[in-house]
Chain A
Amino acid sequence: MESISLSFNKVSFSFKKRRILRDIDIKLSRTGVCVIYGDNGAGKTTLLRLMAGFLKPENGFITYCKGLRSSFVFQKPVLLRRSVEDNLLHVLMINNSMSRFRALPKVKDILSKYDLSSLAKEYAFNLSGGQQQMISIIRALITNPNVIFCDEPTSNLDVKNKVLVEDLLKERSLLNKIVLITQNENQSEKMADEAYELENCKLKKISER
């Protein structure tokens, strides 16, 4: 159990009487990228939301390792109407109960690490889609989570930003577990340490490195 961050045991889920997931079993290790691949409407986002605890399973059990901290990267960046710096401070002050004084150096460090210090005072809504998604990902990283759930984080990005995000996630997967939802088969092959396909409400392991 030591090397497992979360596990699903015969988890099923329905929405408005429509079965979306049936008897899902999966165990996530502590590091690496786990890609969940599937067509539109296959239930990938529902599965991710169940993993993140946004939804409760209809049947079955989800077990989390003790003290698991997770964060979520949404398909469309969800940023607050304030500066980039304040967006990052917000998450640290709430999720990590840090004071503004203690959180500020951490925000400056991470922005500098990813060469984004020049955006610190910019208003989040003034940024390009790619920059907004980068800030969303940094916001997910800054809280020091064990698992990062990513719901198609590159689907709205151009090639350059897509590569940037993929590299950033891959680098982080050496320390943390990344669960990545994608419809893109190439991305799945490039990123996955283990890959699953969601089809007909069932999860099927398709590869492991």
Chain B
Amino acid sequence: MDNVFYDSLALLFTLDSYLLEIISLSLYVSFSALIISIIISLPIASLLSIKKFIGKNFITIIFNSLMSLPPVAVGVILYILISYNGPLGNLELLYTPAAMIIAQTILIVPIIVSLSKDSIDTCLNQYQDYFFSINASFTSVMKTILWEVRYKLMTNILAGLGRALSEVGAIIIVGGNIDHLTRVMTTSIVLETSRGNLAKALGLGISLILIALIINIVLSLIKNKELERNGEH
């Protein structure tokens, strides 16, 4: 068992092309899904928080419930939609990184919407009268609030990124874990473990943990530095 650990570390330090290819595809898929999710989620969260409309509470409950969407269920539904005989079959998305990005986006959007809505709600309570007193439009309120809660949003976005990076159930179904095409860290870990290639699986696992740690540490440092500058620490 010791050998497995040392072999995995050796694999990590030599950073062979196989590992680099898998890591870069993982980051490409997860960050693409994250950026798309941010673009979709923040206006939805703002709308749900700032505007008053019929069905707002119902939609909020739906988004909260979708936070715990089972990835395999998302994978199967998306598979049916984009498979060659499915309604979106002509887009030829099945077994492509694009399909994996869509799957991850579906899983991340409810997380960022729900968490961000809570952050915006708290901030809005504090500034509601101020916005009213300066006749601020919805767009002005949204832009101001999103900037005000930017540090909380960073945490929410990190939660989304965590979900994307660790996700395996949906992307293995719609991506197919094809070598040099749709194989990412998580799907590769599943494959290498089932093959008994534990050193490779552990190496990938350690690199996944390291990447998540580095992203978290960098963002936390930026956040703390900014909070200190703003006199909030």
**Chain A residues in contact with chain B, CB under 8 A?**
49, 52-54, 70-72, 74, 78, 80-82, 90-91, 94-95, 123, 125-126, 143
Chain B residues with CB under 8 A of A125:
230-232
Rounded to whole angstroms, the CA-CA distance of A148 and B132 in the bound complex is 14
Chain B residues in 8 Å Cβ range of A123 = 229-231
Interchain CB contact under 8 A, B134 and A94: yes
Known: A91-B134, A125-B231. 16 other contacts (CB 8 A): A49-B129, A53-B132, A54-B132, A71-B133, A71-B134, A72-B130, A74-B130, A78-B126, A78-B130, A80-B148, A81-B148, A94-B136, A95-B134, A95-B136, A123-B231, A125-B230
A70 to B135, CA, bound (A): 10
- Chain B hits for A95, CB < 8 A: 134-136
Asked if B144 CB lies within 8 Å of chain A CBs, one says yes
Instruction: Tell me, yes or no, whether B193 is within 8 Å of chain A by CB.
Output: no
Task: Verify B127–A78 contact, CB threshold 8 A.
Answer: yes
Binary per-residue interface labels of chain B (105-138) against chain A in the complex, 1 for a CB within 8 Å, 0 otherwise? 0000000000000000000001101101111110
A-B interface, 9 closest residue pairs, ranked by CB to CB distance from nearest: A126-B231, A125-B231, A72-B133, A95-B134, A78-B130, A123-B230, A94-B140, A94-B136, A123-B231
Number of residue pairs A-B, CB distance < 8 angstroms: 47
Residues of A close to B140: CB separation below 8 A: 94
Rounded to whole Å, the gap between the CB of A49 and the closest CB of chain B is 8
Q: Indicate whether A74 sits within 8 Å of B230 (C-beta atoms), given known contacts A91-B134, A143-B134.
A: no
- Distance of A169 Cα from B207 Cα, bound (Å): 62
Q: Is the interface of A mostly helix, strand, loop or mixed?
A: mixed
Give residues in B with beta carbon < 8 Å to A: 126-127, 129-130, 132-137, 140, 144, 147-148, 229-232
| Residues of chain A with a CB closer than 8 A to B135's CB | 94-95
Q: How far is the CB of A55 from chain B (nearest CB, A)?
A: 10
A80 touches B232 (CB 8 A): no
Closest to A95 in B: B134
Bound-complex Cα distance A53 to B129 (A): 10
Given contact pairs A80-B144, A90-B144, A54 touches B129 in the complex (Cβ within 8 A): yes
CA distance A125 to B136 in the complex (A): 22
CB distance from A107 to the nearest CB of B (A): 15
